[in-house]
Amino acid sequence: MFANETLPEGGRPEPTEAEIVDQIFDAVIDQRLPPGAKLSESALCEAFGVGRMRIRRSLLLLASRQVVDLQSNRGAFVASPTAAEAQEVFESRLMIEPNVAMLAAERATETDVAMLGAHLEKEHHAHRSDNRHEAIRLSGQFHVVLARIAANRVMERMVKELVTRTSLIIGIFGAPGTDNCRDDDHSLILEALRAKDAAAASRLMSEHIGHIQTNLDLSKGRPSTVDLVKLFAS
């Protein structure tokens, strides 16, 4: 009679922890959830329609991937990477993603290339129609799709985490107007995949990450604990 027993009443089928985590990841990537945002348990319970236990597990998983900051007796907050952490994230991306792009170029089937092409098309479309959140989300997702083409789940998880943290970093250290990924770079990488040119894919990815980093000002940062002193001086 009922398609799913766990439907309370015409609602949705009770998201699992992984789904909750993914949704929060996406919200962080496209900057609907800014760094420092409070993630109160009760609000999340209502938002996802699940019990507190599941929310707490999800928050723990998010914390284990450095996307949320779990403060004792205070609650969960979207992480606010420091300049030092930002440095580490980009350093890691520069270590990992060129190799991922290389692998992807070696392993991409025609189907993969077509899929990535379609993804890029959506990216362009979102850009043209000024759909900012969608554009940012797809732009980050591009890197994850590439990792999926490389067919290495370890790398895929890693890239997803790093892309998400990069969104937070851009939110803190980025110039307000600039995009995080210029999609021209993505187009070039797609071409390298299409040509099965692994070396080019690797090089282009290095440059691409360099471009992202260029648009940041890691010195501006967010108040560390001493900011109050500066404020007091003025």
Q: By C-beta, is 74 or 128 nearer to DNA?
A: 74
Interaction between residue 50 and a copy of itself (CB under 8 A) = no
User: Quick one: which segment of 60-68, 168-176, 179-187, 204-212 binds a copy of itself (CB under 8 A)?
Assistant: 60-68
Torsion of CA 62, 63, 64, 65, to 10 degrees: 60
Rounded Cα–Cα distance for residues 115 and 25 (Å): 22
Interaction between residue 230 and DNA (CB under 7 A) = no
Residues of span 125-154 touching a copy of itself by CB under 8 A? 152-154
The kind and range of the H/E element at 203 are helix 198-214
HEC string for 116-179: HHHHHHHHHHHHHCCCHHHHHHHHHHHHHHHHHHCCCHHHHHHHHHHHHHHHHHHHHHECCCCC
Q: By C-beta, is 138 or 209 nearer to a copy of itself?
A: 209
Q: By C-beta, is 61 or 115 nearer to DNA?
A: 61
Candidates 214, 190, 207, 205; CA nearest to 123 is 190
Q: By C-beta, is 138 or 200 nearer to a copy of itself?
A: 200
Distance in Å, CB of 51 to DNA, minimum: 4
Residue with tokens 């998201």: 15
Interaction between residue 70 and DNA (CB under 7 A) = yes
Interaction between residue 200 and a copy of itself (CB under 8 A) = no
Where on the chain is the footprint of a copy of itself (CB under 8 A)?
57, 60-61, 64-66, 85, 88-89, 91-92, 95-96, 99-100, 103, 152-155, 158, 162
